[in-house]
Every structure is written in structure tokens, then in C-alpha cells.
A = this chain, B = another copy of it.
């Protein structure tokens, strides 16, 4: 971990320094836990109060913020802090290395400068772009293509058979899953997530898309670019998701549903078979509906008892009145 001066950090962040430019920063932490040699940041107005009591040696702050001490003013504090963090905790990424316990088919093509962890298995004709990282125990079936600079976390499984069966008389026969998986550049796939191969054609994950742990993507889904998918969400077959969509955790998406670019889906929502989710307002609930409508329904349910009492009252009055 290299120690940096506040001035160096300001340079890395593209921010304007105020205070002690030679202050040495060797770590980073939250406002509450940062000490005199640590960097911290203020994400928003809510955090400004906390900042007053912070012991952090240097603060990354929004442009309009003012306070005694060493500050770096930037327009996007969170992004700037992330960049500084990467510099402060920089570990020399191991140069291209393939762990001796990884098993890689002879016909697979591994790009330059890839790191392939212990116990990974890479099938026939797999192609992996330059600079990608596979942590321990990743399994990649035959014919999968993965872009450059992708990160695959431990235990994820790419290219297993899609879940397709045909009831034939008294038993199910396997619908052959002869397609593949294509994962874009700069994608990140979480631990123990599963991306199934297409039945025919490919299951696609776009460039820059980030998938959390324990996510399931079924055969022939087409997930766009720069999509964010939180943990334990599952997509049934042939779902399409547009670029920059944001999908919460534990969401379930039915077959052939369409989620538009930039749409936002709340945690645990259930999207029905062939449902079309638009951008603009987040959706929530099962079946997923615009957030306001769902909240109104929830609120109304709570008022049901009151309404029932009112009706009872009316009936009484009518009976006594007549």
C-alpha cells in the first residue's frame, strides 16, 4: 500500500485541494472510523453533519462544502473516492497467470494478461479476452465467449445447459441445449451465479454489466450493456433487458419479459411472463407495477378495516333510520 500526499490524491481525483497539500494519507475509511492518516468522503448533504466530528486527515467533498482542514473539492465525491481508494490500496495485479490446478481445454483461447484461479475449468473452444480475471473454482462450459477485462467470481458457472425439457409420454426428454453464452467486455459476474447457454443461439450479457452473487440467467436471455443486477435475482428463458437497467435483489422475471433500457425494478419484484417493464418509474411487487401504484395498494389495504367500520355504521343508521 503506497502512501500518497493529499496533493497526489487531488491529482488522481481531478479535484481542487485546500489545506495541507503535503499531508500523508496511507489509508481510507468511513467518516466515523477514519483517523489522521486516512482519507474519507462526504457523499451528500446528510453526511455533512457527521463530517464535523470526523478525524479524517483529508476529506473529499462536494464543491459547495466548506470547513477547516484538508479538503479535496470534486463534483462527484463518491466516484472520486473510489478512484483514490484504488490508488491507495493498489495491489500490483498479478501479471497474466494460470494457476497450475486450473484445467483448460486445448482448444480454448485465453487472452493476454488473464488471471485464471485455482480449480477453474475452461471447456473446449472457449474464448476469453485480454486482461480478464477468473477467481478460484469458476466453471466455463464449452464454446462460451467472454470479453476483455471481465471479472468472474468464485463458483460462478457459465454455459451450463438451459432448462428445457419436453414431456414425451410418461417422461421428460431433454431439449438439446446447443447454443452458447457471450459475455461482454468489463462485465463482472458474482460468486456462484449461473449463466445458462442458449438452447439455440446465445445467451448474452452486454459490455460493462455487473451481476451480483447467486443470480440465475436462463437460456437465451439478452441482457444489455451497463445493466446492474443485485443478488439472487433470476431471469427465465428469453428475457430481454435494455442498457442501463437497474434490477434489485431477489427479483423474479418470467419468460420472454422485456425490461426497457434504464428501467428500475425493486427488490423481490415479480415480473410476469411476457410482461413489458418501462423506464421512467420504478416497478415493485408481484406482479410488478409502478411504484406509486403499488404503494397506494399497500396503503389502501391498511385502511380496509376503517372502511368496513364505516359501512357497518351506514347500515346501522339506515336500519334505525327506516
Contact = CB atoms under 8 A, between A and B. Distances in A.
Contacts of A310: 311, 315
A296 to B, nearest CB: 7
Contacts of A234: 214, 231-232, 249-250
A270 B270 contact: no
A79 B297 contact: no
A51 B54 CA distance: 65
Contact of A30 (B192, B200, B252, B315): B200
A24 interface: no
A176 to B, nearest CB: 4
Contact of A85 (B175, B190, B214): B175
A254 interface: yes
Interface residues of A, number: 97
Interface stretch (A15-23, A59-67, A149-157): A149-157
A314 B311 contact: yes
Contacts of A137: 119, 121, 137, 139, 155
A226 B208 CA distance: 39
Given A141-B135, A311-B307, A287 B297 contact: no
B166 A231 contact: no
B236 A249 contact: yes
A299 to B, nearest CB: 10
Given A154-B157, A218-B231, A79 B178 contact: no
A196 interface: yes
A126 interface: no
A178 B85 CA distance: 8
Given A155-B157, A171-B208, A208-B172, A214 B231 contact: no
Interface string A226-242: 10101110101000000
Contacts of A314: 311, 314-315, 318
A188 B321 CA distance: 68
Interface in A73-112: 76, 78-79, 82-83, 85-86, 89, 99, 101, 103
A161 interface: yes
Contact of A163 (B213, B254, B270, B321): B213
Contacts of A247: none
Interface of A: 28-30, 33, 76, 78-79, 82-83, 85-86, 89, 99, 101, 103, 117-119, 121, 135-137, 139, 141, 151, 153-155, 157, 160-161, 163-168, 170-176, 178, 186, 188, 190-192, 194, 196, 200-201, 208, 210, 212-214, 216, 218, 226, 228, 230-232, 234, 236, 249-250, 252, 254, 267-268, 270, 285-287, 296-298, 300-305, 307-308, 310-311, 314-315, 317-318, 321-322
Given A85-B178, A190-B194, 9 more contacts: A82-B173, A85-B175, A139-B154, A157-B191, A160-B190, A160-B191, A300-B305, A303-B308, A307-B307
